[in-house]
Amino acid sequence: MKGVILAGGSGTRLHPLTRITNKHLLPVYDRPMINWAIKTVVDAGIGEIMLVTGGTHAGEFLRLLGNGNEFGIDRLSYAYQEKPGGIAEALGLAEKFVGGDDVLVMLADNIVEYSIAKPVANFLNDPTGARLLLSEVKDASHLKHLGVPEFGANDTIIKIIEKPESPPSNFCVTGIYMYEASVFEIIKTLKPSNRGELEITDVNNHFVDNSSVKFDILPGYWGDGGESIEAFWEVNDFVRENGAVKIIL
């Protein structure tokens, strides 16, 4: 399995902090945000990683990360997204890097309390379709801003609804996904949304429609450090007090 970390976007929700840098280079406690994503992927046993970024600050990642060896990466590659075109489009840039392998995709502003090594092992033991990582969100008003799974019989996902007015469950789809290599063929069939982007929710619903999606529920804390200024500081406070990407004993 290879890893793809997506660190693009304009970061408008974190203005003015992002006027002078990429949001994934902002500090989360004692290191840049991107370092937590790298630690999450590497601690899950994945040593070959592609970082996809864009914008005017892309070169700063190379200065920070170099060849990645310092951070436990065996081989670090880079891709550049010329303009914001959506998460699915950004993932599509990694097709040649991934080849025919399975892929773990992580949005670099996701912060997890515990290692995702177990969900990755679950996918590798049954590498068919997709496996999504969910997190329980008790605040219904927050769910209205996220992708929310609707469950059917036997706790299967029957649909993922983006920003639902009436959330069908108390869980959200986090920005951590695992796919078989067919995901790149699916991306090629997508049409831009009303935002003019290729949406990762459309990719996930393709697997849902083909009954080839499974999920794990993340234990402990999950946060999106790029969601808003308030969320950014909440993530900082949590990591400072509790740590992140801890191994479950």
Domain 2-133+175-242 has CATH 1.10.8.60: no
Quick one: tokens of 110? 């996701």
User: When comparing pLDDT for 93 and 19, which is higher?
Assistant: 93
Predicted pLDDT at 128? 87
Confidence grade of residue 28 (pLDDT, cut at 50, 70, 90): very high
**Which run of H or of E encompasses 121?**
helix 117-125
Quick one: tokens of 132? 């999504």
Confidence grade of residue 1 (pLDDT, cut at 50, 70, 90): very high
Predicted pLDDT at 72? 97
Confidence grade of residue 249 (pLDDT, cut at 50, 70, 90): low
Tell me the HSE value of 43 on the side-chain side, using a 13 A CA sphere: 19
pLDDT digit string, tens, across residues 205-218 = 999 999 999 999 99
pLDDT digit string, tens, across residues 131-180 = 999 999 999 999 999 999 999 988 999 999 999 999 999 999 999 999 99
Instruction: Decide if 157 contacts 213 (C-beta within 8 A).
Output: yes
Average pLDDT, integer, range 178-185: 97
Quick one: tokens of 181? 């290599």
pLDDT digit string, tens, across residues 66-87 = 999 999 999 999 999 998 899 9
Domain limits, the chain: 2-133+175-242
Predicted pLDDT at 56? 86
- Cα–Cα distance list, 109 to 136, 138, 140, 150, 222 (Å): 18, 21, 21, 24, 11
Q: Indicate whether 54 pLDDT > 90.
A: yes
